[in-house]
Structure 1
Amino acid sequence: MRYQHIDPNLFIQNRKKLAMHLQPNSLVVLQSNDLMPKNTDGTMPFVQNSDLFYLSGLDQEETILLLYPDAIKTEWQAILFIKETDATLAIWEGHKYSQEEASSMSGITTIYWTSQFNQIFHTLMGLVDYIYLNANEHVRANTPVETRDKRFISWCKAHYPLHQYARIAPIMQKLRGIKEEAEIGLIQEACHITEAGFRSILPRIHAGLMEYEIEGRLAYEFIRRGSRGFAYSPIVASGANSCILHYINNNKACPAGELLLIDVGAEYANYSADVTRVIPIDGKFTTRQRQVYNAVLRILQSAQVLLRPGLSFGDYNQAIIALVESELIGLKLINAKDIKNQPKGMPLYKKYFMHGISHHLGLSTHDLGDLHGTMVANMVLTIEPGIYIKEENIGIRIENNVVIRSNGVQNLTENIPIEAEEIEELMHIKVKG
């Protein structure tokens, strides 16, 4: 693996937190993600099931985790099943975890081969009352391809129809939204790698440069620092493309006099950064571009001051709406009379700011976590206001990654250039290559 060894105490602690939320005499089953096929004999790069990684630290396909906190035998309280390797597999696919390595990484002492799962699982099912199974219940999830978890749910219910089944997803939603310090450290490293990418690309931007050339340079800077690459499909959007929220084609030339919106984040040890900056392609913002840029920056800075434990997400979002409306009035895009008379349920600000202000960040870019209750210390959130003026080819979104602390906010992206003057200055540094 590319990233540094993670202290297994993180995963031990995560398992202890989970156990506190289970019914008595319960068994939890978590499956790894599939190794997804491409065409002919090709496969997509493997990405681990984030809940399994959260509880075990294992980053390999065909892995199964069983948790049985109330087991009568200590060795049954946590069991890992991993893919059995041999000399032939090592020649074709390289190294796979040994049982000793899996134990060292996870802090779990009971390790079996995946081929032994059915026998041991059957033994435990004769003892437990509840069984917790996993499914992707993220509010924005779209999973038309059947997962290993989904296949196992069908198999398990067919073979053991009389057990009491429960969902683990609501528990993981609570747990993963509040980060351990070790997790925050991994997100911070992803942000440091993302910073290096931004600093490398700023002096190289000029009119005529292809968006995909910028994407390529960022990928190079990320991977050379131990990242697997982009945490999500990179957005490198110049000119009118900056007004397309999820533009990922990245195949146009950067036009002179326009803006370049870069929304990227490095992945490190499965943890994500998610950062957006906007850059004047010619090296200097026009008067209008700067007006809009500074308006968005003021919204971000005000939002960052608001964040604190105990603040409800509802109150936070309402405060942001007021800030956005004020800035839109200042930019002469709407006026106070329009706001007063706007149709109910059709707020005018949404013409220029269509998306949410914050989401959780962690093992997924849009990570699990509560967005309806109140904020809690050690939540990691993005702050990403934007103003998009399609008729002016001005799309500006600025995004930071922050940790809510009991005494304020820790900005994990504080070293990534954000002030307009700083961006302009860095664009004029001479570089080689």
Structure 2
Amino acid sequence: MRYQPASASLYKKNRNKVIERLPSKSIAVFHSNDILPTNADGTMRFRQNNDLLYLCGIDQEETILVICPDYPEPSMREMLFIKPTSEQIAIWEGHKFTQEEAKALSGITNIKWTTDFELIFQSLMTLSKHVFLNTNEHLRADVKVQTRDARFIKDCKEKFPLHQYHRVAPMMHKFRSVKEPEEIIQLQKACDITESGFRRVLSFVKPAVLEYEIEAEYLHEFVKQGSRGFAYEPIIASGKNACVLHYIQNNGPCQDGDLILFDVGAEYGNYNADMSRSIPVNGRFSKRQRQVYDAVLRVQREAMNLLRPGISIQAYHKEIGLIMQAELVSLGLIDQTDIKNQDPEKPAYRKYFMHGTSHHLGLDVHDVGTMHDPIQAGMVFTVEPGIYILEEGLGIRLENNIVIEENGYRDLMKNIPIDPEEIETLMNE
């Protein structure tokens, strides 16, 4: 494997969380993602279903995990079904998991081929009452392609219509939102690779370089360090492009006197970093750029101190809005009249800061996890305030990834340059 996976103990621990929450006579089934087509006989790169990976660590297509804690035969209480391999498959597709390898990685002793699934599943269902099946229930999910999970739900209900069916997603969201120490290690590795990419870029950027040339520098460093590449489509936005929040064209020139906004992160072992930085193309911030940069940096530092166990994300975002409002007044972008006359549903500061400050981070970049329950120690969040002034062609966002601890936070990106004077020094070495 390109990356070093976590130990089997993590996956055993994660499965036990599910087992402890299942009612008696339950069965839970998790499927891998499909390999999706492009055109003709082309396919996209495979990306594992994150819930399955969280529970067994198997990063391979056509994988099924079945948990049936009350089954009379102990060896069938946890079963993993993997794709049968052969010499022919090895020639055309390369190495696939053997049963022994899957056992060692997942910690599951009973490994079967997927060709055995239907007959065994029939036996498990005869003694089960509650069936827990998986779906994508992310708050912002917009699923237009039928998944392997969705097909299985349809088939299962047709074959076994009298069982009691349940959603497993709510419990998975709860479990995955609080990271285990082994997961923090993977996230730190993703952040460290991201740091290497950023430091490489600081010595590369100069006037007239193209945005996609910078993207290539990041990708080179990420892959060289054992990442499969970007955690998400990277944003390399110079000048006024930085005022487009999801700018991913990355095809413009970087002009002398402009800033470049980077929103990039490396993936490592399916865990994701999510970093934003803003740097001057010519290696020196102008007075105005520095004023806005310092304002964003102050908001970020205050935001990090506000994120702590027990508070709600809603209360946190409301407080950040007030902090940003004060900074925008100081910058002369809004005034007290704007604030007095604002629509409470669309406060004045939203003209220049129109997105949220933090989201869960983990196996998904916008990771699953409730946005309504109080924050807990072990959760990982981005902290990413920004100010976007279209009329000045200036957009600045600064983003770090932090682990919430009982008495504060741990900054996974503390080594990534963010101080403006350090950035200038590194760019001019």
- TM-score higher than 0.5 here? yes
CA deviation profile, 1:171-196 (whole Å, cap 9, x unmatched): 01100000000000100000000000
Q: Are 2:5 and 2:269, in contact at CA under 8 Å, matched by a contact in 1?
A: no
- Residue 355 (1) aligns with residue 355 (2): yes
Shift of 1:240: 0.8
Shift of 1:306: 1.2
Shift of 1:337: 2.6
Instruction: Write the distance in 2 (CA, Å) between the matches of 1:242 and 1:156.
Output: 48
Report SS of the residue matched to 2:262.
strand
Q: Which residue of 2 aligns with 1:309?
A: 309
Q: Are 2:78 and 2:110, in contact at CA under 8 Å, matched by a contact in 1?
A: yes
For 1:224, the aligned partner's letter is: K
Instruction: Write the distance in 2 (CA, Å) between the matches of 1:186 and 1:81.
Output: 25
Mean CA deviation greater in 165-174 or 34-43: 34-43
Shift of 1:69: 1.4
CA deviation profile, 1:112-145 (whole Å, cap 9, x unmatched): 1011110000110101000000110101111101
Report SS of the residue matched to 1:325.
helix
- Residue 271 (1) aligns with residue 239 (2): no
Instruction: Write the distance in 1 (CA, Å) between the matches of 2:407 and 2:181.
Output: 16
Instruction: Write the distance in 1 (CA, Å) between the matches of 2:313 and 2:367.
Output: 16
Report SS of the residue matched to 2:21.
coil
Instruction: Write the distance in 1 (CA, Å) between the matches of 2:144 and 2:406.
Output: 41
Instruction: Write the distance in 2 (CA, Å) between the matches of 1:21 and 1:246.
Output: 39
Report 1:332-371 matches (<5 A): 332-371=332-371
Report SS of the residue matched to 1:42.
coil
Report SS of the residue matched to 1:267.
strand
Instruction: Write the distance in 1 (CA, Å) between the matches of 2:17 and 2:309.
Output: 20
Instruction: Write the distance in 2 (CA, Å) between the matches of 1:312 and 1:144.
Output: 32
- Residue 397 (1) aligns with residue 403 (2): no
Instruction: Write the distance in 2 (CA, Å) between the matches of 1:147 and 1:428.
Output: 50
Q: Which residue of 2 aligns with 1:202?
A: 202
Q: Are 2:279 and 2:423, in contact at CA under 8 Å, matched by a contact in 1?
A: yes
Q: Which residue of 2 aligns with 1:124?
A: 124
Q: Are 2:64 and 2:114, in contact at CA under 8 Å, matched by a contact in 1?
A: yes
Q: Which residue of 1 aligns with 2:19?
A: 19
Instruction: Write the distance in 2 (CA, Å) between the matches of 1:198 and 1:295.
Output: 22
Instruction: Write the distance in 1 (CA, Å) between the matches of 2:153 and 2:5.
Output: 32
Instruction: Write the distance in 1 (CA, Å) between the matches of 2:300 and 2:262.
Output: 17
For 2:352, the aligned partner's letter is: Y
Corresponding pairs, count? 429
Report SS of the residue matched to 1:404.
strand
Instruction: Write the distance in 2 (CA, Å) between the matches of 1:322 and 1:125.
Output: 55
CA deviation profile, 1:150-181 (whole Å, cap 9, x unmatched): 11111111111110000001001100000000
Instruction: Write the distance in 2 (CA, Å) between the matches of 1:426 and 1:76.
Output: 58
Shift of 1:78: 0.8
CA deviation profile, 1:302-358 (whole Å, cap 9, x unmatched): 011112111222221111011010001011111123212212322111111111110
Shift of 1:207: 1.2
Mean CA deviation greater in 19-28 or 272-281: 19-28
Shift of 1:405: 0.5
For 1:306, the aligned partner's letter is: L
Runs of 4+ with >3 A deviation: none
Instruction: Write the distance in 2 (CA, Å) between the matches of 1:192 and 1:113.
Output: 37
TM-score with structure 2 length normalisation?
Answer: 0.99
Instruction: Write the distance in 1 (CA, Å) between the matches of 2:395 and 2:279.
Output: 11
Note the residue ranges of structure 2 that are not aligned, 5 or more in a row. none
CA deviation profile, 1:18-44 (whole Å, cap 9, x unmatched): 112222211001110001111111111
Q: Which residue of 1 aligns with 2:156?
A: 156
Q: Which residue of 1 aligns with 2:259?
A: 259
Instruction: Write the distance in 1 (CA, Å) between the matches of 2:351 and 2:76.
Output: 56
Report 1:81-100 matches (<5 A): 81-100=81-100
- Residue 328 (1) aligns with residue 328 (2): yes
Q: Which residue of 2 aligns with 1:133?
A: 133
CA deviation profile, 1:218-254 (whole Å, cap 9, x unmatched): 0010001110100100111111110010111111111
Q: Which residue of 1 aligns with 2:52?
A: 52
Mean CA deviation greater in 18-27 or 96-105: 18-27
For 1:143, the aligned partner's letter is: V
- Residue 80 (1) aligns with residue 80 (2): yes
Q: Which residue of 2 aligns with 1:285?
A: 285
Q: Are 2:5 and 2:57, in contact at CA under 8 Å, matched by a contact in 1?
A: no
Report SS of the residue matched to 1:424.
helix
Instruction: Write the distance in 2 (CA, Å) between the matches of 1:345 and 1:401.
Output: 28
Instruction: Write the distance in 1 (CA, Å) between the matches of 2:259 and 2:55.
Output: 42
For 2:206, the aligned partner's letter is: H
For 2:261, the aligned partner's letter is: L
For 2:90, the aligned partner's letter is: A
- Residue 243 (1) aligns with residue 247 (2): no
Shift of 1:300: 0.2
Q: Which residue of 2 aligns with 1:426?
A: 426
Report 1:28-39 matches (<5 A): 28-39=28-39
Instruction: Write the distance in 1 (CA, Å) between the matches of 2:94 and 2:344.
Output: 60
Report SS of the residue matched to 1:204.
coil
Shift of 1:5: 3.7
For 2:218, the aligned partner's letter is: L
Shift of 1:73: 1.4
Report SS of the residue matched to 2:203.
helix
Report SS of the residue matched to 1:20.
helix
Report 1:53-68 matches (<5 A): 53-68=53-68
Q: Which residue of 2 aligns with 1:410?
A: 410
